[in-house]
Structure 1
């Protein structure tokens, strides 16, 4: 299972190339705005690939492996066919992101100060930072477990006269390298490095899909394995998944609601939202990002199918025994949860040929650096910008502010390493994310979305919603960790007479509903005088810059504003959007028809197998086309960004809000407009 010299060469060369790019790009960040949001100079293609890397850490890849290994093709149907119609409508309409970019805030908590008050900003900064740090805490640990399992590294190693544990040393090494990259150039380095690594991952994913598809996967063997699943836990038929644990239809229904509710709540991506050259560029970046995510899910599924065949098909019994023996070792060393996380990647270490293992390891290392750099940058920035600076009467000098930002990022890194050393994870990765995020995500959507779209929302309503979300988040930790120990049975919900396991995903939904009701109710009870002036916050109407090249959001019908394209879309933009609409809704319609026929007993596993084969082939074609298209566009955007960085970058654009608290009746105090290249 150990890597060949060729595999190590692939890993080393790719890493050195990324390190060189990071060192070069860091020289371009010469201002606070450059360090925080890349000077607001990023184009759509650059954002599509770079922002997508926030969600493609090694832990996210392993989480997707877990999801598809447990849920099979039904999980793909809900996540890639049933969910995307709403996702594409949100992206085309610019749901939340467009208006956030119009505020010209650098961080979401800064927008909260502009919309509500400095106290809301600080409170949101503290709660989101705590939740984000707990969420981020398992990233280094999962990454280190992957490297150890995939490379066959021992539990300990000798260095000089010392015997050192491999696990913490790996965590420290990975986090130290990532921190150095972020230190050097802030968000400019994060953006450029994430784009380059994302482009590399797309190319490597194409190669690995081809290698696995042509050298290992036999479709008949795949079907033999998938047909072994129980009838009510099908790995082929989405209509027959009532006994699938955790990753069933309800998981994706709640995920869809959360996608709408928490569009601005995941702060690790906020700098990318604020870095767009214009609101429309950010909106198009989100549309194209959906296309890229769909194609990368092909990579996840193909890898999972290969692992399923290796572990479960009789024709590969000896190989399956070898993989199982190695997983047994991992379980004895690190527990059952780690075994579940490493199942697919361990199988791939036995399956992939020379060169293929190196490509997969290079993908994972690139993903580790990209996502971790975004997290370190985001939460380091939040602590300084949204917790420390609001308490100061004057803004610090740019050099001092940059020094504080770097120290804060160092603190984030140290915490993540210590958390990874001492916390023993027992949940599936995606379930842990749902649980750890509830503290912030449960109440944040109400105040973030409400603040942009509802002029009657008040500061008191925001405080109340955050308080309810925080209390429910803490209660969720206690409930999920202790209920079974206290009662001897897992927590359950009863819906229409059906008992449903109360997992972290369900608890997140309950928290979101209660927090939203609290925000609306308290806002209506505490509203005094005139409503908030949203035009001032969004720089519209009388508050629009006289020389701005951006038009106000067109006053179209509600239906067109939700589903249509506005006059801002160029001819090529409209063609892209219309083509994606056709793709999304065609597959949505076909899947819904298949589910309806399955429920009526007119189609079975054989029919679903044919459907999924066609869908995988279509995704493979889209993966190749999008890799070339988005990559070339991103290179053009890089050139434009570096040119704009030389022309912009005002010292006054530092992410603080001049003056006093936001005034609910007359509107907020906004940051320096001169720094916005729009």
Structure 2
């Protein structure tokens, strides 16, 4: 990196440090530390949560997936985009979750089921979370070593543990000093810089390479493994159409269950702001999606196009000393570092650092809070003073950081990052998904059903984690060979489980959901009182009650597809319609193009000709260029809204009358 790169890299970090110092004075209660006093507006929630949700590991996953599958598999991924848009427009899970006014998901489990269930789910959530987080520090450190061209060792001491201490230490200091208030403010500031940096870096890639170089690199694949033609990519292993379909099922089932950003779920000013924050996520992600796609395309072109053969040899020489999985992760960052010019490289480094820091602070806060709120304090059995409560939360956050360092230092990865994330996440979400959806929307869901679903999901997910480990698979393979000695599959799969993490996650999810429904139907004696839990009907509070009687009747189509409800203003409706129109346009394109190619393959005599790779490349570039054009517009829009909401949050925190709410439920609820 040149001096200009270090200058551009350091400026936003200094600004963030200033805001961190300024915001510490707003922590005056446990609710402030856990949920920022519930003062978050829609743009603040959407922008800050989006930055936290992206993460450097997500960028690393996107680059790794692109290197192995290109764009072809993302064509089928538009089904996921449509499903997620409908869920966000409808306010699925998040609206009712905010109505419960809980501080953590497990607190909801206590209200809906029982205290013992809260503790067990808190333990499962915490274990799944910290194990999932365990590889984040190592991935981040290796990414920066590769991108910055740093030496692997200094004086015989490996560099990546030193970087992990530096990165985790920074995240821990930020989170311990200001909790969710600090996280929301720093993530918001990072997003303000990040939006425009993403736009500049993404556009620069278009200027560095020619369109012909992109075309030649993307089309240089053997038949059956196309990187642009989704109908000619079925021989691509792991990252294929089945991976997308499994992802769709798992994501819908577990929507809202993953608690890596649980602080944001409780930080909304009200349920309506939480819903609007989710709706805005479509526009918020535009610049980030464009950035991720363009940087992946540029890195892949640099690694494969003959025009860069000498640089490719140098990168291959550097990667030769790494293990297969580490080399696979570091190839794309090394390529990115090689082709980005001075100045742009500094902006990319800043964006990558923002992604890493925002996710680390959010995860440290989430898993530390869950450990105290849903394991320690429920087992203790009575409330503690606010001072002791805050001390325990800070110590837990420090403990999560230490665990992340130790796990990253000891764990030897033998699976793709995405597969590891899926199976470790499913360890909790397989059981939690049915308990959340059933608990929020089905009055006949029972405690016994929840226990059974969680047990089935956790057991099958744990079995999947064991099978993903080389030693675990070796032991399981020996056992299975004793039962099926002539199995060809077992004999050929000597080093690795033949079923990847995606399929193992699907089995766990389907079994857990089925068990929950079946057991609940068998054990439900009396429907649960949903009105009391959701603070509606005769349990509604004056400041949050909806005046439905004064609102016009809204049809089910507008509710489902546009997300309209009685609280929607004209501006809300415009935002919602814009999101639906954007998604609907690409969905219609997806359906028409897919049907045309299916008909062309099925009826060649009718004169239809399937799209060749060149046509698919042109379409993909059109899709990407639309994002390049619109990304600056949405960046300005989200920045304006974010600054407005940030000022409002400061004002609300200054004037807020603090309550004693600390997430403690006085009495365990019974099924009623």
TM-score, normalization by structure 2: 0.93
| 1:192 and 2:188 correspond | no
Partner Cα separation in structure 2 for residue 420 and residue 489 of structure 1: 35
SS in structure 1 of the partner of residue 202 of structure 2: helix
Deviation larger for 375-384 or 646-655: 646-655
| 1:345 and 2:333 correspond | yes
> Against the structure 1 CA distance between its residues 585 and 234, is the aligned structure 2 distance closer, same or farther, given a 3 Å change threshold?
same
- Provide the residue aligned with 1:543 in structure 2: 539
- Provide the residue aligned with 1:582 in structure 2: 581
| 1:618 and 2:611 correspond | no
Q: Quick one: which of 317, 336, 345 aligns to 2:324?
A: 336
| 1:465 and 2:465 correspond | no
Partner Cα separation in structure 2 for residue 483 and residue 164 of structure 1: 33
Partner Cα separation in structure 2 for residue 293 and residue 581 of structure 1: 15
- Provide the residue aligned with 1:24 in structure 2: 22
Partner Cα separation in structure 2 for residue 370 and residue 511 of structure 1: 30
Deviation at 1:647, TM superposition (A): 2.3
- Provide the residue aligned with 2:205 in structure 1: 212
Deviation at 1:323, TM superposition (A): 2.1
Please give the per-residue CA displacement for 1:166-222, whole angstroms capped at 9, x wherever unaligned: 1111111110111000111100000010111122111111111121111x2211111
Q: Quick one: which of 165, 169, 174 aligns to 1:172?
A: 165
SS in structure 1 of the partner of residue 157 of structure 2: strand
Q: Is the 8 A contact 1:242 1:248 kept in 2?
A: yes
Partner Cα separation in structure 2 for residue 36 and residue 519 of structure 1: 30
| 1:148 and 2:145 correspond | yes
Partner Cα separation in structure 2 for residue 424 and residue 201 of structure 1: 32
Deviation at 1:118, TM superposition (A): 0.5
Partner Cα separation in structure 1 for residue 54 and residue 161 of structure 2: 22
Please give the per-residue CA displacement for 1:331-387, whole angstroms capped at 9, x wherever unaligned: 2xxx11111111211101110111121111111111111000000000000000000
Partner Cα separation in structure 1 for residue 590 and residue 558 of structure 2: 26
- Provide the residue aligned with 1:398 in structure 2: 386
Q: Give the 5 Å matches for 1:443-454.
A: 443-454=431-442
Q: Is the 8 A contact 2:198 2:291 kept in 1?
A: yes
Partner Cα separation in structure 2 for residue 313 and residue 164 of structure 1: 36
> Against the structure 1 CA distance between its residues 257 and 295, is the aligned structure 2 distance closer, same or farther, given a 3 Å change threshold?
farther
Q: Is the 8 A contact 1:491 1:502 kept in 2?
A: no
- Provide the residue aligned with 1:297 in structure 2: 289
SS in structure 2 of the partner of residue 246 of structure 1: coil
Q: Is the 8 A contact 2:28 2:658 kept in 1?
A: no
Partner Cα separation in structure 2 for residue 642 and residue 491 of structure 1: 60
Deviation larger for 535-544 or 585-594: 585-594
Deviation at 1:293, TM superposition (A): 2.2
SS in structure 1 of the partner of residue 662 of structure 2: coil
Q: Quick one: which of 106, 109, 118 aligns to 2:106?
A: 109
Q: Is the 8 A contact 2:195 2:287 kept in 1?
A: no
Partner Cα separation in structure 1 for residue 254 and residue 73 of structure 2: 21
Partner Cα separation in structure 1 for residue 23 and residue 349 of structure 2: 24
| 1:157 and 2:157 correspond | no
Q: Is the 8 A contact 2:286 2:634 kept in 1?
A: no
Deviation at 1:458, TM superposition (A): 0.9
| 1:663 and 2:670 correspond | yes
Partner Cα separation in structure 2 for residue 466 and residue 491 of structure 1: 30
Alignment: residue pair count:
644
Partner Cα separation in structure 1 for residue 560 and residue 313 of structure 2: 53
Q: Quick one: which of 454, 458, 462 aligns to 1:474?
A: 462
Partner Cα separation in structure 1 for residue 568 and residue 237 of structure 2: 43
- Provide the residue aligned with 1:668 in structure 2: none
- Provide the residue aligned with 1:252 in structure 2: 244
Partner Cα separation in structure 2 for residue 323 and residue 164 of structure 1: 23
SS in structure 1 of the partner of residue 154 of structure 2: strand
| 1:511 and 2:508 correspond | yes
- Provide the residue aligned with 1:125 in structure 2: 122
Please give the per-residue CA displacement for 1:53-103, whole angstroms capped at 9, x wherever unaligned: 222221111011112222212233233x33222211111110000000000
Q: Give the 5 Å matches for 1:66-77.
A: 66-77=64-75
Q: Quick one: which of 503, 507, 525 aligns to 2:522?
A: 525
Deviation at 1:547, TM superposition (A): 4.1
Q: Is the 8 A contact 1:65 1:304 kept in 2?
A: yes
Deviation at 1:275, TM superposition (A): 0.6
| 1:639 and 2:629 correspond | no
Q: Is the 8 A contact 1:398 1:651 kept in 2?
A: no
Q: Is the 8 A contact 1:67 1:75 kept in 2?
A: no
Partner Cα separation in structure 2 for residue 491 and residue 297 of structure 1: 40
Q: Please, which runs of 5 or more residues in structure 2 have no aligned partner?
A: 482-486, 492-496, 602-608
Q: Is the 8 A contact 1:108 1:270 kept in 2?
A: yes
Partner Cα separation in structure 1 for residue 490 and residue 642 of structure 2: 47
Deviation at 1:393, TM superposition (A): 3.5
Deviation larger for 431-440 or 450-459: 431-440
SS in structure 1 of the partner of residue 257 of structure 2: coil
Q: Is the 8 A contact 2:98 2:271 kept in 1?
A: yes
Q: Quick one: which of 255, 269, 274 aligns to 2:261?
A: 269
Q: Give the 5 Å matches for 1:312-327.
A: 312-327=304-319
- Provide the residue aligned with 1:57 in structure 2: 55
TM-score, normalization by structure 1: 0.92
Partner Cα separation in structure 1 for residue 453 and residue 338 of structure 2: 50
Partner Cα separation in structure 2 for residue 258 and residue 54 of structure 1: 21
SS in structure 2 of the partner of residue 625 of structure 1: helix
Q: Is the 8 A contact 1:186 1:377 kept in 2?
A: yes
Deviation larger for 455-464 or 389-398: 389-398
- Provide the residue aligned with 1:95 in structure 2: 92
Please give the per-residue CA displacement for 1:576-610, whole angstroms capped at 9, x wherever unaligned: 11122111111111122222333324221121122
Deviation at 1:501, TM superposition (A): 5.7
Partner Cα separation in structure 2 for residue 259 and residue 521 of structure 1: 22
Partner Cα separation in structure 2 for residue 446 and residue 25 of structure 1: 38
Q: Please, which runs of 5 or more residues in structure 1 have no aligned partner?
A: 493-499, 666-678
